């Protein structure tokens, strides 16, 4: 795992709220979220399905369609606030400054166009002065960079001629086409077998090292996070409930939700120990929780009055791997149990 980059954030999300109009009122799928991603940094957003991860990614890309809207906050990318930009301005940013790797490459690629045609289109959209010959040569270079065998010949194949892992390599190549500063990868390994998943992660690791690009990884797979990411942000019911260095968060989680996520996945160190399922479901956000949204499912603070009535404020925790922030009324108490230090 590489060391996170320092300096000013490349992406600075400040108090973002994204909501959708419904017959019964507005539903906030992302609620007052703040996070940063620095150049060369690999940041994970993790959580169950329906917790707001993909909505957050689409908000950054300006792809929230009506009845959705960004209701509050700022999305500052390389010093420019993206909130409120016209679609024409966003089109010049998407694919050039920030790119997206989809979960399902077969659904993202056009089945009736060759891989080469789609890559050439992606290149010339942001580099109109590039000739088709030069664009084709660059497309071949990109396929070779993501280790597609016989790149020049495979450029003229259609998506269905590629395996799932090779299609995902094509998506990475297209994402890299115009040298973006940030790549958002939305569950890029979910549909792949374990061996191919490891190959794709290794490829992304090399892309970060070679190009200095930052990666915002949307996933529910904590194994992928442990292997790939520098920083993890745990999302629940539209909020970031715990954030910090991956090593610290996965080794000694402070928020009960993070701990529950870790205890619900197989771990060779816990052979013979029964996995713990998280009871219940994430809350219905058509009625914004007045207290901690995780309270009905929490094994630690369940039944305590403050958890039901007050939204917890972030508590700073100092760990050997670096500082973390936790939204839990009992973060200090839980941190003390693991010998961590609560920052003043």
Helix or strand holding residue 176 (H, E): helix 164-176
> Residue 10: which of 98, 102, 72, 126 has the closest Cα?
98
Comparison of pLDDT for 128 and 189, the residue scoring more: 128
- pLDDT higher than 70, residue 272: no
Mean pLDDT along residues 201-217: 88
- pLDDT higher than 70, residue 292: yes
The residues facing 264 across adjacent strands are none
Mean pLDDT along residues 95-114: 88
In this prediction, residue 344 carries a pLDDT of: 46
Q: How far apart are CA 188 and CA 172, in angstroms?
A: 9
Secondary structure (3-state) at 251: helix
Query: What confidence tens digit (pLDDT) does each residue in 225-238 have?
Result: 988 899 999 999 99
Highest mean pLDDT (candidates 3-12, 69-78, 310-319): 69-78
Mean pLDDT along residues 275-289: 82
In this prediction, residue 270 carries a pLDDT of: 59
* Residues 6 or more apart in contact with residue 220 via CB below 8 angstroms: 46, 47, 48, 49, 187
| Band of pLDDT at residue 211, cut at 50, 70 and 90 | confident
- pLDDT higher than 70, residue 5: no
Q: How far apart are CA 40 and CA 43, in angstroms?
A: 10
In this prediction, residue 4 carries a pLDDT of: 43
Mean pLDDT along residues 57-85: 94
The rounded mean pLDDT for the chain is: 88
Q: Taking a C-beta distance cutoff of 8 angstroms, is the pair 176, 208 a contact?
A: no
**Model pTM above 0.75:** yes
Burial 255-283 (b: 16+ CB within 10 A, else e): bbbbbbbbbeeeeeeeeeeeeeebeeebb
Query: What confidence tens digit (pLDDT) does each residue in 115-165 have?
Result: 999 999 999 999 999 999 999 999 999 999 988 999 999 999 999 999 988
* Residues 6 or more apart in contact with residue 20 via CB below 8 angstroms: 26, 27, 29, 67, 68, 69
Residue 83's alpha-carbon distances to 235, 302, 329, in angstroms, are 22, 38, 32
Residue 138's alpha-carbon distances to 120, 154, 162, 252, in angstroms, are 8, 14, 20, 45
In this prediction, residue 68 carries a pLDDT of: 94
Q: How far apart are CA 123 and CA 131, in angstroms?
A: 10
């Amino acid at each position: 795992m590489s060391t996170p980059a320092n300096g000013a954030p490349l992406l600075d999300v400040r108090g973002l709220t994204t909501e959708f109009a419904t017959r019964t009122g507005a539903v906030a799928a992302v609620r007052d979220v703040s996070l940063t991603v620095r150049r060369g940094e690999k940041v994970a957003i993790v959580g169950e399905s329906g917790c707001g991860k993909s909505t957050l990614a689409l908000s950054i890309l300006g792809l929230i369609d009506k009845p959705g809207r960004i209701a509050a906050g700022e999305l500052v990318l390389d010093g420019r606030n993206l909130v409120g930009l016209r679609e024409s301005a966003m089109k010049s940013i998407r694919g050039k400054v920030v790119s997206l790797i989809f979960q399902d490459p077969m659904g993202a690629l056009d089945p009736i166009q060759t891989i080469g045609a789609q890559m050439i289109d992606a290149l010339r959209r942001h580099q109109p002065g590039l000739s088709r010959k030069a664009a084709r040569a660059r497309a071949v270079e990109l396929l070779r960079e993501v280790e597609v065998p016989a790149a020049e010949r495979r450029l003229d194949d259609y998506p269905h001629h590629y395996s799932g892992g090779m299609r995902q390599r094509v998506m990475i190549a297209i994402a890299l086409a115009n040298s973006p500063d940030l790549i958002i990868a939305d569950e890029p390994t979910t549909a792949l077998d374990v061996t191919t998943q490891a190959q794709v992660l290794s490829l992304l690791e090399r892309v970060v090292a070679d190009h200095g690009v930052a990666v915002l990884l949307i996933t529910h797979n904590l194994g992928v996070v442990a292997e790939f990411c520098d920083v993890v942000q745990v999302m629940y019911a539209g909020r970031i409930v715990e954030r910090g260095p991956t090593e610290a968060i996965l080794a000694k989680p402070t928020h009960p939700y993070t701990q529950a996520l870790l205890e619900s996945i197989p771990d060779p160190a816990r052979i013979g120990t029964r996995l713990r399922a998280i009871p219940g479901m994430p809350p219905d956000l058509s009625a914004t929780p007045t207290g901690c949204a995780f309270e009905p499912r929490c094994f630690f603070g369940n039944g305590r009055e403050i958890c039901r009535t007050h939204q917890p404020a972030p508590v700073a925790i100092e760990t050997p791997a670096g500082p973390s922030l936790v939204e839990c009324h009992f973060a200090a108490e839980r941190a003390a149990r693991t010998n961590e230090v609560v920052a003043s």
